[in-house]
Structure 1
Amino acid sequence: MTAPVISIEPLSNELMDAYLASGMERGKAGRFAVEWAFGSNPAPFAVARNNGQIVGISGYIQSRMQFGSETGVAFQAVDSFVSESMRGKGIFTQLARAYDTHATRSGGDLVWGFPNDNAAPAWFGKLGWHSHGQVPFLIKPLRAGFFCRKFRLPLDFPLTRARDQNLSSIAEIGEWGDALWDSVAPAISVGTVRDRAFLNHRLFNGPQAGQYRVVASPDQAEPAIVATREAEKHGGRIAYVMEALGGSSLEPLVMSELGRLASRGVELALAWSFPWSPNYRTLRKAGFIPLPERLRPIHIWFGSTPKTGLASHANHEGLWYLSYLDSDTV
C-alpha cells in the first residue's frame, strides 16, 4: 500500500461530502455550520488521501489572538477524523504535523486546542504540545433536584438567593462591544480577541445562535455582557455561562441570570475561568466553585504550541483567558 498523500486545502464539495460521511457533529449540522466555523481561514484543512480517496481530515479555526499588548494569528485544532480502515497507521499525527508546518509557513503565531483523552497522548507526546492541564471548570448549583435524584429523593428547591431582574436579551453587539474588550484586554495576557466582530460572529451569526441568551450593560463607560445556553445534559438541566465579562456592572448581570435560570428549573451552571481571569472574582462571589477533576463528567485537556516569538509566552502558566466561547462544541 502506498503512503497516504497529505495536503492543505480550502473547503470543497468533496470535503463536505467527507465531513458528512465521517459522522463528525459539525458535518451532521450541514454545510452552513462548517462554513461558519472555518470561514475566516482560507485553508482550514489538512487532508489525507489514499488512492485518491479522502481517508483523514483535520480542521482548524483561524482567529485573532491577544499576546500581551499585541495581537496575532492563531489556529485552533477542532475536528479530526481518520477512516476506520486507516486507523493505527499514524495518519492523525501526519495530518497534525502537516498543518503545523502550514501554520508556521503562513505566518501563524500559535496552534492550540482542547484534545480529549483519546487525542491527548498524540498532541502532548508525539506532537510536543505544552499541556496546561484540564480546562478550568467552575460549577454553581442552582437547584437541589440534581443532587436529590442521586439519592432517590423526590425533592427540589432553589439553592441560590439570586433573583431574576427581568433583563431583556439583546440580538446584536454594538460599538460598546469594542469598548468592553478594550476595558478587559489589559488584564488578559493570552486569549482570543473578544471584540464586537468576534462576539457577533460567535453568538449571533452561527448555527446555534437561537440557543444563546445574551444580556448586556451597553454603557460605553462601564460595559458588560453575560451569555448563557441551556441544555439537557449530564443527567440534568444545566446552563453554560458562555461568557461573563465587564467591570462593576458585571455582577448584577450574573446574579440576575442565575436567578432567571433557577426559576426556569435549571439545576447547575457551568463556567470556565482561571483564578487570574478578570471575571473569576465575580463568578466566585456569585457562588461558583472549582469543580474537582475527579467529579468531572468528561475530561477536556488544554494545550498550545507557539510558532513565533510573539506567542512564546503562551506556554507559560497564569496568562491565558478562557471561557465557553472558546469551545467549538457548546
Structure 2
Amino acid sequence: MSQNLLEVREISKFYGDVQAVRNVSFSLAEGEIGCLLGPSGCGKTTLLRTVAGFEDIAGGSISIGGRVVAGPSFVAPERRHIGMVFQDYALFPHLSVADNVTFGLEGMSAGERRRRMTDLLETVGLDSEKHRFPHELSGGQQQRVALARALAPEPKLLLMDEPFSNLDVALRESLSSEIRDILKARSITALMVTHNQNEAFAMADKVGVLSQGAMQQWDSPYAVYHHPSNVIVAGFVGEGGLINGTVVDRSAVQTALGVLSADIDVPFEVGCDVSVLIRPEDIVHDDNSPHYAKVVSKTFRGPTILYVLQLDSGETVQALVPSHHSHGPGQSIGLYPDVQDLVVFERGNASVGE
C-alpha cells in the first residue's frame, strides 16, 4: 500500500484579517496526481503556495515525504525537494531548450546533465528542439520544456499552477492527458491548481473542490461529479440544477419528474422535503413520451444542444440532446428521466451555483 507523500493537516492562512485558507486537510499517496479546483479567489493558489513554501501558515502542518516542512517547523522552498511549473512557463528566454532543462542541476557532471536532459526531452517529445530558444516554440512546446525543467532535479513532489491556462481549448485537453501519462510513467506525485474541471478530470486521481478557502470535497473525479458532498460542489462541478422532492421510501423520492429511485438508501426519513440534483444527462429526449416540458432556452454545441426545459411544476431542468432534434423556445418536447445517481440534499440549502 502506498504511503502518503503529501500530508496537509488543518492548515490556515490569513492576509491581515482575511482568512484565505480555512482548516484545510488532504493527502496524496506516492504517485498520485491531485488537483485543487475552484473559482477565482477560492484559495487554491494560496494553498499551493503554502505547500511550495512561498507562503507561511497560521496553523496546522504540511509534510512532504514524512518530513514536516510547515507548521511546528519551517523548511525553505529550495529544501523541500519540489518541482514547480508556473502559469507563464517562466523559461529563460536567453537560454536554449537544453540549457533551460539543465539549469540548476548543480553537483552533476556535464555528462550526467546531458543524459538527464536528453532523457527528459525524449520523454516530452522535444529532443529534436533542444538547440532552439523559447520564443521559437509553440505554447504547448514551451509547457513541455517547463515540465522537463521541473522534473530534471527529480523532485519528490511536482506542483503546477494553472499550467494550461495560456493554451487553446483543444491543446489544453490533449496536453493534460499527455502530461498525466508522463507523470504516471515516472510515478511522480503531483498537485495542480485549475479552475477548469475538464483539466482536473483529465489529470487527477483526486480532486479537491475549494470554496471561500475551505475544502468542500476531496475525492476521485467520479465521486466529485456523481456524488457531490454538498450543493456547493454540485453547483461548481458539471451542469444541472435542483428540483423539489419528497422522500416516499428510503430509496425513492417523489418529484415533478415522477418517482426517482436509487440503488442505495437516501440519508433522509420518509416524508422529508428534499432537493434533488438533476444533471443534463439525466433527462432523455423522447417524442413518444407522455411527459412533456416547454423549451425555455437552448444552447447549440455542434453535436448536441443544451436545453433549459420548464416542467409542469414551473421548475426547470437541463437536457443534453443530439442536435438533429432542434426545437425553439416555447415548443414542448417529450422527455423522461433516466437518473442513475440519485443525489439528494436537505431542502432549504443554498441553490446550486451559489
Q: Normalised by the size of structure 1, how large is the TM-score?
A: 0.25
Q: Which has the larger radius of gyration?
A: 2
Q: Normalised by the size of structure 2, how large is the TM-score?
A: 0.24
1 or 2, which has the higher helix percentage? 1
Greater RCO between the two (CA within 8 Å, min separation 6)?
1
